[in-house]
Amino acid sequence: MSGSDGGSGPVDDDAGPDEDTDDDDLGAGDAPPEFDPADVAGSDVEPVGAMIAVAFTGAVIGLVGAGVALFVSDLGLALIGVGVAVALSSPLAYVRLRRRYGG
């Protein structure tokens, strides 16, 4: 019976945990070379991806503000306001970009 060992998790049928039999010079924990973060230039990021990153950043700022508001209300409310402004500016910029350049 392969795939289970009585409820403690999946069974590894290999001889060792890091056994590499396909001769591609990659270890078990190595990422494939096409996913190397050093190969990503700023020009490779599409505008939509950048806007999504900005929206998530705004959401994180807002959530941090909500946590801080439990202890320091004025600072927390300010961070919530900044987070909402940043998070909402991203979709507005996307709509403006689509109207200007079509799509």
pLDDT of 54 higher than 80: yes
Q: What is the mean pLDDT of residues 75-100?
A: 87
What integer pLDDT is reported at residue 5 of this predicted model? 52
Q: DSSP for 49-93, please give it.
A: HHHHHHHHHHHHHHHHHHHHHTT-HHHHHHHHHHHHHHHHHHHHH
Pair 10, 3: CB distance under 8 Å: yes
63, 72, 70, 64: CA torsion to nearest 10: 10
Mean pLDDT is lowest, of 68-77, 79-88, 89-98, for 89-98
> pLDDT by residue (tens digit) across 10-31?
555 555 555 555 555 555 566 5
CB-count burial class (<10 Å; 0-12, 13-18, 19+) for 78: middle
CB atoms within 10 A of CB 34: 6
pTM reported for the whole predicted model: 0.53
At 96, which helix (H) or strand (E)?
helix 73-101
